[in-house]
Amino acid sequence: MERHTKLMIRLSASEKTFLEEIAAEQGLKLATWARRKLLRDGREEAASEDSPLYGANGNGNAKPSLLSLFCGPGGLDEGFRQAGFHTSLATDIDKDCVATFRHNHPDTRVFSAEISTLTPRKLDRIYGGEFAPFGVIGGPPCQSFSVSNVHQKDDDPRHNLPLAYARLLKALNRRRPIAFFLFENVPGLLGPRHRDRYLRFKEEFQLAGFKVYEAALDAKDYGVPQERPRIFIVGINANAFPGAEWLPPRPTGELRTVRDTIAGLPEPVHNARGLDPETFPVHPNHWCLVPKSRKFGNANLKEGQMFGRSFRTLRWDAPSWTVAYGHREVHVHPCGHRRLSIYEAMLLQTFPREYELLGNMTAQVRLVSDAVPPRLGYFVAQSIRMALGLETEAPGAKHQRFRQTHVREPADMFA
């Protein structure tokens, strides 16, 4: 009979209390946290010297280390990972985001916390030592700034999240210089209603010691098969990189369509109780809402038709409308007989096929809607590397590498 080998470690009462606090901050039992910590550290030590998981502020051959705020399911981080960065710490208040990020990025310490409660010292405790990231990335929930939100309120607490972001960045940079930050949000942030708020937290970034740049980018211009305009605000440390200037990435000239991305997939499973995602065809997220509306019958929904926000039927030979679904009103498949599956929406966001979203159907709709397309994140990350003078691969090789990993031809979908 095989016996399990146990590793016994003696701890003082104070040591045990300290470690239990760290584990609790990550939503784990002490034994689970300790096992993951030992395995993670062992793998890091055994890793190749050419590609260590953690960098000392990006020096030498190490991958530049990142702090990810409002990390969501990890789309932006996945893009930065493809560009040679490593997210060391990630945080989000949404438990489904935390679980999904941890599932797909097991070498990142992920925890749940309100950003207003974070301090450099608290980050140190979670990290297990002084945390000095090379960069900070993330964008707060965009609903409070979105022009599609017709019920905006001036006292929405989410309006204060950019200021909390700026203050944490300032505290970290005061202790040890941060090379750059990236802040992503919807174009409505720059609209007249929120202009004063934007100028205020932009000033906070500048006072923290950063040259601030902004650019409006549309994901469809970078090979993402959807129209998704977003604002990217990039800050470069003025003292550490006095001559650096950030230029937004150039459009690739490649237009990807819905047909390029999801044609040929088998029909997904309809949402119901007691389903086992491991039995779903192609992918554990290949399930969709039950098509209850009479609009789905008798070929009533035609390609490109829009009935308000609730019924938008995609066109095969054009990019999707923005993957942003409210009240589970997922866009309608081009054939008009059902809504998209979560997996199809993930592909339109350019998530890798091995990526998985956790949680129930409602949670997965929210996660895929709020994510930054990894492919767009990759090109932004590359532009930041260039601004800071970090080594990058030849554009053609990098571009091809990302395409092979993330944007698959229909024939590859069953591989």
Say how many C-beta atoms besides its own lie within 10 A of residue 413's C-beta.
18
Instruction: Name the phi and psi angles at 89, rounded to 5.
Output: -130, 140
| C-alpha span between 127 and 131 (Å, rounded) | 6
Domain extents in the chain = 24-30+54-144+158-248+374-405
Q: For 139-187, how does the pLDDT look when each residue is reduced to its tens digit (9 = 90+)?
A: 887 444 333 434 444 444 545 788 889 999 999 999 999 999 999 987 8
Burial 22-50 (b: 16+ CB within 10 A, else e): bbebbebebeebbebbeebeeeeeeeeee
- Burial status of residue 398 (CB atoms within 10 A of its CB: 0-12, 13-18, 19 or more): middle
Rounded alpha-carbon distances, angstroms, from residue 102 to 23, 87, 318, 325: 14, 11, 34, 24
> In terms of DSSP H, where are the helices of 215-309?
258-262
Say how many C-beta atoms besides its own lie within 10 A of residue 113's C-beta.
17
pLDDT tens digit at each of 415 positions of the chain = 444 556 667 777 766 776 776 777 666 677 766 766 665 555 444 433 333 332 344 444 479 999 999 999 999 999 999 999 999 999 999 999 999 999 999 999 999 999 999 999 999 999 999 999 999 999 887 444 333 434 444 444 545 788 889 999 999 999 999 999 999 987 876 666 657 877 887 888 888 889 999 999 999 999 999 999 999 999 999 999 999 999 999 999 999 999 999 999 999 999 999 999 999 999 999 999 999 888 887 767 888 888 777 889 999 999 999 998 977 889 999 999 999 999 999 999 999 999 999 999 999 999 999 999 999 999 999 999 999 999 775 444 444 444 434 333 333 322 2
Alpha-carbon torsion angle 374, 376, 379, 380, nearest 10: -100
Instruction: Name the phi and psi angles at 141, rounded to 5.
Output: -50, 135
CATH number of the structural domain 24-30+54-144+158-248+374-405: 3.40.50.150
- Helix (H), strand (E), coil (C) string for 320-372: ECCCCCCCCCCCECCCCCCECCHHHHHHHCCCCCCCCCCCCHHHHHHHHHHCC
Q: What is the pLDDT of residue 194?
A: 59
Q: What is the pLDDT of residue 36?
A: 65
120, two tokens = 């450099």
Q: What is the pLDDT of residue 128?
A: 95
| C-alpha span between 249 and 253 (Å, rounded) | 12
Q: Could you give the angle at which helices 13-25 and 30-46 cross, rounded to 10 degrees? A: 80
Residue with the two structure tokens 């705020």: 69
Q: What is the pLDDT of residue 307?
A: 76
Residue with the two structure tokens 């309809």: 270
Q: What is the pLDDT of residue 283?
A: 98
Antiparallel, parallel or unpaired: β 65-69 and 135-138: parallel
List residues with catalytic annotation: 142
| C-alpha span between 10 and 97 (Å, rounded) | 34
| C-alpha span between 210 and 212 (Å, rounded) | 6
Indicate whether this model's pTM tops 0.95: no
Short-list 175, 181, 312, 331, CA closest to 262: 331
